């Protein structure tokens, strides 16, 4: 095995795999002969998790760095603006009960603390509405920028809602056509170890052996390299993060001109909460709940009741997919010449869309700290 890090293999073509490929390939000039070679292999037999439609504002910088035009994102990924999250019925459960987590910081943040002035208006005005204008924009269905505002620039800070499947597809096209990432559609069947315990190569169903200097495990909940091969412990957090199940569905708009919410609507339910994400052509709605406190059937009734409020009895026709969540994370994320990114490293729960930002931060950190040689990997990865 070469001591220099010249070739990186990423296993998994979900959002984690393609974001990691794009960030590293853009930084390390993979489209040039001198650049670091990046290969992404994904299985045609294992679908991506296909959820993860809410992002953080960091995504703007990540996409810009990869050289993706914002118009392409909107056109190809069914994307919409996200200006924060509206938490409905989390406090008293009444229809008037809501507050915003906006993406614009409080007025004067860092210079003046507005909290004492807000106290005078308690309990009538939520904190965010007193110190930030963004919740008011959301309530009025206004965008965070004008049509003339340049790509990625903002008037009010914003992130995106997007179709997770289309997003992976768009990243794949960009990474392979513009950034020089090699793409292999094949199933990884096994692992060949080197004498020092590193992974020397992967065996595949149809493409022979695939060797590399560094392997990035983006195989989702399977965690094929870090979890299954190396047996790195999974630290289960179910005792503090009770939600371990989700039901997800796509909901059509009743009318073509129905408003598209520019914020995630997170509504408290009896044993969990529902997310409601407005895309231009549909809404993505789901119910995250604790299986120790309710049954799948009861959770489904609550979800359909929530959807019925906006589309009536059409709610009963929707097909619903169950996703099991194991809240927790691997004891460590880098072992030997393998680093895990995305669900293979861990997952808490979808509240606040923290998973994709961790993917972005991980990809950035790996790219910035990329060890030049194998011995340095033990320093960077520890």
Ligand X SMILES: Cc1cc2nc3c(=O)[nH]c(=O)nc-3n(C[C@H](O)[C@H](O)[C@H](O)COP(=O)(O)OP(=O)(O)OC[C@H]3O[C@@H](n4cnc5c(N)ncnc54)[C@H](O)[C@@H]3O)c2cc1C
CB of 138 to ligand X, least distance (A): 17
First to last CA, the chain: 21
Query: By C-beta, is 35 or 290 nearer to ligand X?
Result: 290
Q: Is 247 helix (H, G, I), strand (E, B) or coil?
A: strand
In the bound state with ligand X, the residue whose beta carbon lies nearer, of 156 and 363, is 363
Residue 55: CB minimum distance to ligand X, A: 6
DSSP line for 280-303: SS-EEEEEEE-TTTS-HHHHHHHH
Least gap, CB of 246 to ligand X (angstroms): 4
Residue whose CB is less far from ligand X, 143 or 191: 191
Closest distance to ligand X from the beta carbon of 158 (Å): 15
- Between CA 42 and CA 205, with CA 11 as vertex, the angle to 5 degrees is 55
The per-residue b/e assignment along 309-332, b for 16 or more CB within 10 angstroms, e otherwise, is eebeeebeeeebeeeebebbbbeb
Cβ-based neighbours of 382, under 8 Å, separated by 6 or more: 334
Minimum distance from CB of 1 to ligand X (Å)? Answer: 21
DSSP string for residues in 95-106: TT-EEEEESSPP
Considering the complex, state which of residue 1 and residue 351 has its C-beta at the smaller distance from ligand X: 351
Nearer to ligand X by C-beta: 5 or 51? 51
**Which residue, 130 or 227, is less far from ligand X as judged by CB?**
227
| Footprint of ligand X (CB under 6 A) | 11-17, 41-43, 46, 48-49, 51-55, 164, 187-188, 218-220, 222, 224, 246, 248, 286, 323, 325, 342-344, 350, 353, 355-356, 359
DSSP 8-class letter at 4: B
Q: Cβ 278 to ligand X, closest distance in Å?
A: 13
328-330 β-sheet, strand order = 234-236, 328-330, 346-347
DSSP codes joined into one string, 300-350:
HHHHHHHHHHHHGGGGGG---EEEE---EEES-SEETTEEE-GGGTEE--S
């Amino acid at each position: 095995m070469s001591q220099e890090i010249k070739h990186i293999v990423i296993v998994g073509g979900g959002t984690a795999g393609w974001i990691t490929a794009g960030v590293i390939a853009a930084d390390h000039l993979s489209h040039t002969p001198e650049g670091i070679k990046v290969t992404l292999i994904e299985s045609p037999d294992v679908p991506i998790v296909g959820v993860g439609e809410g992002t953080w504002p960091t995504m703007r910088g990540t996409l810009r760095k990869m050289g993706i035009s914002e118009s392409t994102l909107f056109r190809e990924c069914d994307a919409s603006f996200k200006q924060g999250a509206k938490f409905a019925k989390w406090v008293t459960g009444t229809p008037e009960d809501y507050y915003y987590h906006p993406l614009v910081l409080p007025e004067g943040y860092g210079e003046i603390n507005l909290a004492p002035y807000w106290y005078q208006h308690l309990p009538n005005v939520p904190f965010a509405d007193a110190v930030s204008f963004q919740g008011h924009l959301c309530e009025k269905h206004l965008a965070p920028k004008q049509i003339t505002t340049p790509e990625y620039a903002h008037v009010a800070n914003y992130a995106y809602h997007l179709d997770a499947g289309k997003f992976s597809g768009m990243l794949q096209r960009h990474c392979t056509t513009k950034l020089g990432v090699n793409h292999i559609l094949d199933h990884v069947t096994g692992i060949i170890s080197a004498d020092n315990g590193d992974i020397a190569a992967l065996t595949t169903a149809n493409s022979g052996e695939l060797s590399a200097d560094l392997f990035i495990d983006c195989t989702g909940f399977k965690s094929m390299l870090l979890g299954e091969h190396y047996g790195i412990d999974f630290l289960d957090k179910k005792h503090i993060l009770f939600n371990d199940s989700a039901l997800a569905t796509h909901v059509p708009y009743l009318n073509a001109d129905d408003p598209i919410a520019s914020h995630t609507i997170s509504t408290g339910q009896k044993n969990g909460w529902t997310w409601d994400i407005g895309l231009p052509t549909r809404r993505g709605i789901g119910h995250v709940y604790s299986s120790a406190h309710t049954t799948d059937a009861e959770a489904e009734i609550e979800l359909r009741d929530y959807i019925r409020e906006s589309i009536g009895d059409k709610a009963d026709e929707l097909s619903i997919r169950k996703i099991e969540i194991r809240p927790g994370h691997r004891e460590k994320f880098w072992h030997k010449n393998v680093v895990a990114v995305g669900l293979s490293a861990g997952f808490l729960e979808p509240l606040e869309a923290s998973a994709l930002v961790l993917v972005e931060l991980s990809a950035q950190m790996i790219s910035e700290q990329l060890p030049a040689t194998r011995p340095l990997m033990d320093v960077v990865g520890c």
